[in-house]
């Protein structure tokens, strides 16, 4: 964008020259260095695709488009898009690229680029067999990825503390995307996957939804929404009802439903005396079927629960008003 010089005969020459000098100075300030590269999707007009796998496939089978980008802070590669760069579909830099995945060839390697709000949120290698891996941004309050002691501190660090790139090796049973963290995925601090992420809680911005990730032994144990106030975190509970969280009348049925029956999100309001973690159910915590914490879980029934931290399936018995009265190993 640039401002046009004026040529108004009604102004005196001196005034006109001064105004034009000011305009030229502003144009220098408004100048933004931009660069271009080719990306790929499956549409004649650039739209992107829904997954990184589709983006990678589009490199050889889809449509090519020229996009324009400006560099983010500390990014220096003028020939390719990096995480944090702003990306546009037009050379005037007025139309940010739509939220989606795009294929690209960067340094002779096939990559997928994930755009959120016109910003390159992730740039990942296209998988070539073996464990699928990608990366994402996570936050804590340390110079090196260390993890927080609780989910609340991790959540408060998002976008305000230290940002880390964490590398993922996907669990073969997870299909959310190469660069989307899921429970049972393995996390590393280095691209070569030599250094496991230290245990603790990390903040994660999931496309505008802030979440905490609990890591133990390099593995993701839980991923929970960042709640406001006393509630907000939830667990995945199991029963045999595909329609709603109804529970079972026997603990053995709840245990048998784990991974075989139907899963439901039950939201936790912690008892002030419980310190096991905001997303870890404990006796006297209260469970709800809605995120607003208005509908208590049904009374006098059991739910199955996978305690990933202890690698143990458990049954949870719900008493009055959704309060947990008993938790037992299956």
Q: Give residue-wise pLDDT tens across range 35-93.
A: 999 999 998 899 999 888 888 889 888 889 999 999 887 778 888 998 888 999 998 88
On the 0-12 / 13-18 / 19+ scale of CB atoms within 10 A, 261 is middle
Are residues 190 and 204 located together in one domain of the fold? Answer: yes
Q: Are 3 and 31 in contact (CB under 8 A)?
A: no
Rg of the chain over Cα atoms, rounded to whole angstroms, equals: 25
How far apart, in whole angstroms, are the C-alpha atoms of residue 159 and residue 140? 10
Residues above pLDDT 70, as percent of the chain: 85
Are residues 25 and 43 located together in one domain of the fold? Answer: no
Q: Please tell me what DSSP assigns to residue 54.
A: H
Domain stops at, among 60, 92, 125 = 125
Interval 131-138 mean pLDDT: 71
Q: What is the average pLDDT score of the chain?
A: 83
Q: Which distant-in-sequence residues (6+ apart) come within 8 Å of 45 by Cβ? A: none
Structure-token match 């929970």, residue found = 224
In this structure, how many other beta carbons lie within 10 angstroms of the beta carbon of residue 270?
Answer: 21
**Number of domains observed in the structure of the chain:** 4
Are residues 184 and 218 located together in one domain of the fold? Answer: yes
pLDDT tens, residue by residue, 137-160 = 899 999 899 999 888 889 888 888
How far apart, in whole angstroms, are the C-alpha atoms of residue 214 and residue 180? 15
Of 147, 155, 181, whose CA–CA distance to 167 is shortest?
181
Interval 226-251 mean pLDDT: 78
Are residues 120 and 138 located together in one domain of the fold? Answer: no
User: Would the pLDDT of 185 be above 90?
Assistant: no
pLDDT grade, residue 290 (50/70/90)? confident
Interval 230-255 mean pLDDT: 84
pLDDT grade, residue 127 (50/70/90)? low
pLDDT score of 27 = 56
- What domain range includes position 292? 234-329
Are residues 266 and 313 located together in one domain of the fold? Answer: yes
- The edge-to-edge listing of strands for the beta sheet with 301-307 is 286-288, 262-269, 234-239, 301-307, 312-318, 324-329
pLDDT score of 129 = 38
Lowest-confidence region among 127-131, 197-201, 256-260, 314-318: 127-131
Are residues 114 and 153 located together in one domain of the fold? Answer: no
Of 137, 252, 249, 255, whose CA–CA distance to 203 is shortest?
137
Angle at CA of residue 190, ends 124 and 141, nearest 5° = 100
pLDDT tens, residue by residue, 3-25 = 454 555 555 566 666 666 666 65
Phi (first) and psi of residue 89, to 5 degrees: -90, -10
Are residues 42 and 115 located together in one domain of the fold? Answer: yes
pLDDT grade, residue 230 (50/70/90)? very low
Are residues 92 and 140 located together in one domain of the fold? Answer: no
pTM: predicted TM-score of the whole model, two decimal places? 0.40
pLDDT score of 151 = 85
Burial call 187-208: b when 16+ CB within 10 Å, e when fewer = bbbeeebeeebbebbbbbbeee
User: Would the pLDDT of 130 be above 50?
Assistant: no
Are residues 51 and 108 located together in one domain of the fold? Answer: yes
Domain stops at, among 66, 97, 125 = 125
How far apart, in whole angstroms, are the C-alpha atoms of residue 167 and residue 187? 6
Are residues 247 and 314 located together in one domain of the fold? Answer: yes
Are residues 47 and 63 located together in one domain of the fold? Answer: yes
Q: Which two tokens stand for residue 76?
A: 């220096």
Residue 286 vs residue 311, higher pLDDT: 286
Domain stops at, among 125, 141, 160 = 125
pLDDT grade, residue 283 (50/70/90)? very high
pLDDT score of 239 = 93
């Amino acid at each position: 964008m640039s401002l046009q010089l004026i040529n108004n005969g009604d102004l005196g020459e001196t005034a006109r020259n001064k105004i034009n000098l000011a305009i030229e100075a502003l144009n220098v300030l408004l100048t933004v260095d931009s660069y271009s590269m080719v990306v790929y999707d499956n549409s004649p007009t650039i739209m992107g695709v829904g997954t990184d796998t589709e983006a990678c496939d589009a490199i050889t089978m889809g449509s090519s488009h020229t996009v324009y980008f400006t560099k983010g802070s500390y990014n220096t590669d003028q020939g390719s898009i990096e995480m944090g760069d702003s990306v546009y579909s037009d050379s005037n830099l007025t139309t940010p690229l739509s939220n989606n995945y795009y294929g690209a060839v960067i340094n002779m390697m096939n990559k997928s680029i994930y755009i959120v709000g016109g910003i390159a949120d992730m740039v990942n290698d296209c998988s070539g067999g073996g464990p699928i891996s990608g990366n994402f941004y996570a936050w804590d309050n340390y110079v090196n990825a260390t993890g927080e002691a609780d989910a609340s501190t991790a959540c408060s660090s998002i976008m305000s503390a230290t940002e880390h790139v964490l590398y993922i090796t996907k669990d073969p049973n997870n299909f959310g995307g190469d660069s989307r963290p899921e429970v049972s995925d393995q996390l590393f601090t280095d691209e070569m996957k030599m250094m496991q992420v230290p245990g603790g809680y990390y903040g994660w911005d999931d496309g505008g939804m802030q979440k905490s990730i609990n890591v133990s032994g390099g593995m993701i144990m839980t991923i929970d929404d960042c709640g406001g106030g006393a509630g907000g975190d939830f667990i995945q509970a199991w029963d045999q009802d595909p329609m709603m969280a109804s529970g079972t009348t026997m603990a053995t049925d709840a245990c048998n439903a784990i991974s075989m029956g139907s899963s439901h999100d039950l939201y936790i309001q912690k008892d002030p005396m419980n310190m096991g973690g905001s997303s870890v159910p404990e006796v006297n915590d209260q469970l709800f079927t809605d995120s607003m914490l208005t509908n208590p879980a049904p009374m006098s029934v059991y739910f199955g629960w996978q305690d990933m931290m202890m690698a143990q399936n458990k049954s949870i018995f719900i008493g009055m008003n959704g309060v947990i009265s008993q938790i037992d190993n299956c």
